């Protein structure tokens, strides 16, 4: 949730925006010292119930810009009714759903009674999400397809929604949301506040704004200038079974004092952390099934030197700032090539130097080439003495091998069906 900080000499305070003392403390706990420009403009407008159209690129603090005032109103208002949803946030991806839900959970823990925040998205079983919605939610963060699935199963009711948020509306429309939004809007009450946030304002987004918003406050946040991160990247070839051993060797031999290690699953966070701990490395896991207080404790422990290694999922790839983090390790490569940037961006912050190391096993070699290509990387595949790999690459798969980015996207399928124009030059 950390965002660039404006000039303290000219920036307003969160108190001046009308936020409660409890939320001011929550901002301080999250590392938000002064409101960013979009927060300074959006918070008062959302608090007074106005509709909002905000052009806000990544890095401007847009999530807190709408979450802070909505949390304050939710905490001050009457409790939700049974199976009711008070705030609905639509997002294009499951990664963003988890990130936005995490911000609401963190801010919503400031009241005498925690807000109930539920995130629903594809990529997993629908049954746990149905159970999570059984008692309703103060905030429901959803991808459109999964939301429609849940509505079709009568697992959620939207007739009491007070505020609808469309986050990254341009990407929602890219994913075909134009065809689905009518079903979502039909389930909402006629009177509601609508907040529409988008990185760009193409014609379809402008049309969406015209259809949904009533006399909106219009804001535009310029990207915040940032010093280019000084991140050195390395790719190390290693056998799958020796990754933990190599990680321990590097922590010890290189004297790394503070390391964030990314793995693919919650189970892997605990497994790798436990194996490192039994070999004398102060390592702990971090994953989404931990309570918010426990997650904060894990992050604080890495920051203050109580342990050397924090093993985590992509939960920590966005919205988390660990000051002076020296090293990031991709123990498992990110499933999406785009997530590589978010992972390594946890180091090399605020002008400091950082190191990002990716372990490349033979089974993951094809995916590493895709990650490198998509991110413009030309790195030699290094071998650490004593850890020479012996695995052979698997034979070519007739499918996509489970690699995200090589399977047809939703837009590809729509183009194949003739519902979208072909790519120019394709």
Does residue 36 surpass a pLDDT of 80?
yes
Judged on CB neighbours under 10 Å (0-12, 13-18, 19+), 199 is middle
359 lies in some domain: yes
- Whether residues 237 and 369 fall in one domain: yes
Q: In this predicted structure, what is the pLDDT of residue 312?
A: 92
- Whether residues 266 and 327 fall in one domain: yes
Query: CA–CA separation, 333 vs 368, rounded Å?
Result: 7
189 lies in some domain: yes
| Backbone φ and ψ of 202, nearest 5° | -70, 170
Q: Using only C-alpha atoms, what is the Rg of the chain?
A: 22
374 lies in some domain: yes
Does residue 298 surpass a pLDDT of 50?
yes
Last residue of a domain, one of 197, 220, 243: 220
Domain count within the chain: 2
Does residue 393 surpass a pLDDT of 90?
no
- Whether residues 112 and 256 fall in one domain: no
- Whether residues 334 and 377 fall in one domain: yes
Confidence of residue 76 (pLDDT cuts 50, 70, 90): confident
278 lies in some domain: yes
123-145 per-position pLDDT tens digit: 778 899 999 898 889 999 998 88
- Whether residues 164 and 66 fall in one domain: yes
Strands 353-360 and 230-237 come out as parallel
CATH of the domain at 82: 3.40.50.300
Does residue 386 surpass a pLDDT of 80?
yes
- Whether residues 135 and 237 fall in one domain: no
Last residue of a domain, one of 220, 251, 286: 220
397 lies in some domain: no
Q: In this predicted structure, what is the pLDDT of residue 396?
A: 66
- Whether residues 72 and 123 fall in one domain: yes
Confidence of residue 226 (pLDDT cuts 50, 70, 90): very low
pTM to 2 decimals?
0.57
Question: Which two three-digit tokens encode residue 339?
Answer: 């997530």
Last residue of a domain, one of 220, 246, 278: 220
> For 376-394, what is the mean pLDDT?
92
187 lies in some domain: yes
- Whether residues 21 and 54 fall in one domain: yes
Q: In this predicted structure, what is the pLDDT of residue 405?
A: 45
345 lies in some domain: yes
424 lies in some domain: no
Q: Tokens 């999406």 belong to which residue?
A: 336
CB count within 10 Å of CB 81 equals 12
Q: CA dist 149 to 43, 89, 120, 180, 325, Å?
A: 32, 16, 10, 11, 41
Does residue 390 surpass a pLDDT of 90?
yes
- Whether residues 269 and 173 fall in one domain: no
- Whether residues 267 and 211 fall in one domain: no
Confidence of residue 193 (pLDDT cuts 50, 70, 90): very high
Q: In this predicted structure, what is the pLDDT of residue 398?
A: 54
- Whether residues 180 and 112 fall in one domain: yes
Which has more pLDDT, 350 or 126? 126
Q: In this predicted structure, what is the pLDDT of residue 367?
A: 94
Q: Using alpha carbons, select from 77, 59, 69 the residue that is nearest to residue 222.
A: 59
CB count within 10 Å of CB 148 equals 15
Confidence of residue 264 (pLDDT cuts 50, 70, 90): very high
Domain that holds residue 205: 15-220
């Amino acid at each position: 949730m950390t965002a660039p900080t404006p000039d303290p000499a000219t920036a307003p305070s969160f108190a001046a925006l009308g936020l409660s003392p409890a939320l001011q403390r929550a901002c301080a706990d999250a590392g938000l010292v002064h409101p960013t420009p979009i927060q300074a403009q959006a918070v008062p407008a959302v608090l007074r119930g106005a509709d909002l159209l905000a052009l806000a690129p990544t890095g401007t603090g847009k999530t807190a810009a709408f979450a802070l005032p909505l949390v304050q109103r939710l905490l001050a208002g009457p409790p939700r009714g049974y199976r009711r949803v008070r705030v609905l946030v639509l997002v294009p991806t499951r990664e963003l759903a988890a990130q936005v839900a995490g911000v609401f959970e963190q801010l919503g823990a400031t009241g005498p009674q925690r807000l109930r925040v539920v995130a629903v998205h594809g990529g997993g079983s629908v049954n746990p999400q149905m159970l999570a919605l059984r008692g309703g939610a103060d905030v429901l963060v959803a991808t459109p397809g999964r939301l429609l699935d849940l509505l079709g199963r009568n697992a959620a009711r939207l007739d009491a929604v007070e505020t609808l948020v469309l986050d990254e509306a341009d990407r929602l429309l890219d994913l075909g949301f134009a065809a689905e939004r009518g079903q979502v809007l039909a389930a909402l009450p006629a009177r509601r506040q609508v907040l529409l946030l988008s990185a760009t304002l193409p014609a379809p987004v402008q049309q969406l704004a015209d259809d949904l918003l009533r006399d909106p406050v219009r804001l535009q946040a310029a990207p915040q200038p940032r010093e280019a991160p000084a991140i050195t990247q390395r790719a190390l070839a290693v056998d799958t079974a020796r990754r933990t051993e190599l990680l321990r060797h590097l922590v010890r031999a290189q004297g790394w004092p503070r390391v964030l290690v990314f793995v693919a699953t919650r189970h892997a966070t605990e497994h790798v952390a436990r194996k490192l701990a039994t070999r004398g490395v102060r390592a702990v896991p971090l994953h989404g099934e931990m309570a918010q207080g426990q997650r904060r404790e894990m992050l604080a422990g890495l920051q203050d030197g109580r342990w050397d290694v924090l093993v985590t999922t992509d939960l920590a790839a966005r919205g988390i700032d660990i000051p002076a983090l020296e090293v990031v390790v991709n123990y498992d490569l990110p499933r999406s090539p785009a997530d590589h940037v978010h992972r390594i961006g946890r180091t090399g912050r605020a002008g400091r130097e950082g190191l990002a190391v990716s372990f490349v096993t033979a089974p993951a070699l094809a995916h590493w080439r895709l990650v490198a290509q998509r991110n413009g990387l030309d790195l030699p595949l290094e071998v650490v003495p004593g850890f020479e790999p012996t695995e052979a690459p698997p034979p070519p798969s007739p499918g996509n091998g489970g690699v995200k980015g090589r399977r047809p996207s939703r837009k590809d399928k729509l183009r194949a069906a003739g519902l979208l124009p072909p790519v120019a030059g394709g």
